[in-house]
Structure 1
């Protein structure tokens, strides 16, 4: 997360292994001070298109490097592509247009892309009364559950793809907010997961309905995600991938 709060990773979850091979990490050109390389997450939605968050890029950035390894280590295979943020991206809380794609020159082999939602899917589910009882699976490479200590919280990064399950908090025109409170059996995202997917249902469905953007600073309460079934999100994505 990064826009109005922290960039997210997965908390109170478990290692993903090969459950979501379509989920990858944006890889920095050199390690950070803690030795980690992954700085954001995202999802392959066609053989040549990877969806992430616009705030994951620096001003003027035109390329990005992506790894789909379940645990990234230097020397792992990466794929280079054009990094294209939504030109309407802003800090607006009503709709920040916080979405970007990485377009690869060649198809990523041996990975089945995630499915994108149909227009207004979440609104339709809300009207039908099924959204309120749905679960969502968050996946990403960011920080694990923070550890309390004398100097405050310590955030642990392992460059490993993890997953967690959360329940509905609320739905707005642009945002899907999920509970990640472990006291209610939920998990979610934390620093380093921005751009990562939130799938509808349990592991095994690969229907990508929203991407992680922000949340609370302790990574314990709410996972705030940008919807992909809205007219604005679909207008951007439709330039790069065939929509359902």
Structure 2
């Protein structure tokens, strides 16, 4: 039986964001769930990253290659540390162990910007979602095409009250998580794919992560923003499949 590939998407979107990779990865067994409170998935009470990971772990196979992007990468890191039986190999796209900058952690958006996003989301969720997409495509050579794919994968283009509450919880998870202290527990082989011009998760975060694991492989994709798998899908699919089958 072949090893499954689990794909975990980012905040505000759904598993539709992975559609571009499905054709080049058609030979693999793929599990791509919606994150809690996104798309059709029920929300999780509270804003604890571990609760989100545990909810997903209950429905996902053991011994998988777990690939997470953005918020999904934070969840994948937590999976690898706390549910090691689930994770045979760890792939991270646009990853960081901490989204907001703090003393000793400059590889991130400044804390004031993150707080402003959270404050604005409750009153203008659609505007914040689209601003988030704009940040994701900054510096990308294919920004218009990538932006269109991200917009098409939104959990809700105009969130209603319930959707806004669920997505606000996800934004709180993203803003509050700090996994720097858990990385020593992660022993699985790791592949990191990161856009050279990522404005949300600066490439310094990926370099820092890769330095924590002696055997980690870091691939920095030129002329890409936060979603290199949408900007250069064929190359990312080749890298992912090679790592998955390794």
TM bucket normalised to smaller: under 0.3
Judging by fraction of residues, say which structure has more strand. 1
More helix by share: 2
Ranked by relative contact order (alpha carbons within 8 Å, sequence separation 6 or more), the top structure is 1
